[in-house]
Amino acid sequence: MAEQELYRKYARYYDLIYQWMDYHGESEFILMVVNRYKKSEGMNLLDVACGTGGHAQYLQKYFKILGLDINPEMLNIARKKLPKMEFVQGDMKKIELKKDFDVIICLFSAINYHTTLNELKNTFQRFYKHLKSGGVFIFDLGFCTENWEEGRMLVDAVVEGDLQLARISQSRLLDGVFNANFVFLVKEDGKMDFDIDQHHIGVFPTMKVRNILEKIGFRNYIYSGFSDILWDEKSGERPVFVCIKPL
């Protein structure tokens, strides 16, 4: 098994595993904060780490979207679901598109694929360069030190027709990094398969992330779990950052 396979073998199960995700509700939140804060004129949106296009399917009627992801299998699924949308394979850590955008989104913990604050700062600087003045960058910090529960077991199970799938992992933090070994058990066409999908996930203190964004030049607000309430570290909710590049 290669290091950091990142869904490659399991991309085709991604939408099944995450069928509980409220992509519609999160997209409504994005529209709300874009209407509230965006001062640039256009509606060009860059969906970084777009995965299978969960948000884009709802946002495409409002924005002209470019989806970027590192994983070709995820992109293939997104292309089939959203044939009119433009996608590009790429690494957000090296992003260098010859274009700037009114809105950049990076959702469902995708920003946690950075493992150090320095790495995160470099990517934020790249995003800043790719934003127009008055543009808005939105991301959620799905893994943060405030909400971390050491030793917690995460179990997802799906049964659909002939397919039975279980995915299990345990939260263990080492030097601020969650080396997540997602154990997959899949039974399909009567055959059992077993593998481990390895992800390196950075778990950051929310205020340190905020400080980095401020130093780069973003004005930012932290919302609580895609609701119109500002985040509070005792809430247990996911911090959702709305970052504005000043005019």
Ligand X SMILES: C[S@@+](CC[C@H](N)C(=O)[O-])C[C@H]1O[C@@H](n2cnc3c(N)ncnc32)[C@H](O)[C@@H]1O
Residues that bind ligand X (CB under 6 A): 6-7, 49-51, 54-55, 69-71, 74, 91-93, 107-110, 113
Comparing every residue's Cβ against ligand X, the nearest one is 51
| Residue 4 vs 133, nearer CB to ligand X | 4
What ranges make up the beta strands (E) of the chain? 44-48, 64-69, 86-89, 101-106, 131-140, 153-160, 163-170, 173-174, 177-188, 191-202, 219-224, 239-244
Asked if 138 contacts 105 with a C-beta cutoff of 8 angstroms, the reply is: yes
Nearest approach, Cβ of residue 75 and ligand X (Å): 8
- The one-letter amino acid code at 146 reads E
Q: How far is the CB of 193 from ligand X (least distance, A)?
A: 21
Q: How far is the CB of 186 from ligand X (least distance, A)?
A: 19
Nearer to ligand X, 92 or 213 (CB): 92
Report the DSSP pairing between strands 173-174 and 177-188: antiparallel
Return d(Cα 76, Cα 64) in angstroms, integer: 19
Q: Which is nearer to ligand X, 110 or 222 (CB)?
A: 110
Nearer to ligand X, 39 or 148 (CB): 148
d(CA 43, CA 100): 11
Shortest separation between residue 61's beta carbon and ligand X, angstroms: 18
